[in-house]
Amino acid sequence: MEKIFSYLRTSGDDGRDKAGLPVQREACLAFARKTHREIAQEFPDDGVTGKLHMHQRPQGKLLIAALLGNGVKTVLCYDAKRIGRTQPAYWSFIGLCRDNGIAVLDANGTNLCESVMGGVNGMLAEMDRDATVARLQAGKKLWRSERRVEGRWPYGEHPSHEYDAEHAVVARIRKQKASGVSSYAIAKRLNAEGTRTRYGCEFTTKTIQNILNRKPAAK
């Protein structure tokens, strides 16, 4: 019975694939049983993110050393994306295996060293990853360009007229402070009359100071 190694890998790009280590492991074991091979050792890289080559990953590095050191000449992985989600990372490992007479199989039996589909899938994965990164960066840029996310406006600064009562309270706070009333006294007066913060809490000296320290919203 031929002995082979299995290589499993998850990364931050796997959110939509839902192919965690248990799913990958079961697929590899099923293929090994079907083809009468024995998985001599498993090399699992869990949560390895970034455009890393195989030799830069903890278990990937051990896999390469084992392949070059003990005579096993077949690596089994779930799919081509486990080898690399970028073209340089993918072809670096495939080239090493080709040069050393090592076969790299996916769980469907495709020899990635002989099939162009592995490279195509790697290219598609890279394009998908780059598109995802671009969308996230665009979303962050848009979020940062906004002064506040809806529902997170500071007390008294929400532009909706539904919050006019807060605007009035803030105006009173500023007027009292200008007349020499302390933050403690202002909070005490508001609490005594039953005025509360947006979330139903009593005003504190710190709350009053935070309101006073903010630049008044532009009209």
Fold classification of 2-138 (topology level): Rossmann fold (3.40.50)
pLDDT for 186: 95
pLDDT for 157: 87
Q: From residue 96, how far is each of 25, 92, 101, 120 by CA, in Å?
A: 24, 6, 9, 18
Instruction: Measure the CA–CA gap between 101 and 118, rounded to whole angstroms.
Output: 17
- Mean pLDDT (the chain) is 85
pLDDT for 19: 79
- The single residue listed with the structure tokens 């002995």 is 3
Reported as a single tens digit per residue, the pLDDT across 126-140 is 666 666 667 777 776
DSSP β-ladder status, 103-106 and 37-45:
unpaired
pLDDT for 115: 73
Average pLDDT of span 121-150: 62
CB 98 within 8 A of CB 113: yes
Reported as a single tens digit per residue, the pLDDT across 165-214 is 999 999 999 999 999 999 999 999 999 999 999 889 999 999 999 999 98
Q: From residue 87, how far is each of 52, 54, 150, 187 by CA, in Å?
A: 11, 12, 41, 62
Residue spans of the domains in the chain: they are 2-138, 161-213
User: Which of these, 92, 83, 108, 81, lies nearest to 13 by C-alpha position?
Assistant: 81
Instruction: Measure the CA–CA gap between 44 and 25, rounded to whole angstroms.
Output: 9
Reported as a single tens digit per residue, the pLDDT across 75-108 is 999 998 899 888 888 899 999 999 999 999 999 9
Q: From residue 14, how far is each of 11, 17, 75, 85, 153 by CA, in Å?
A: 6, 5, 21, 11, 34
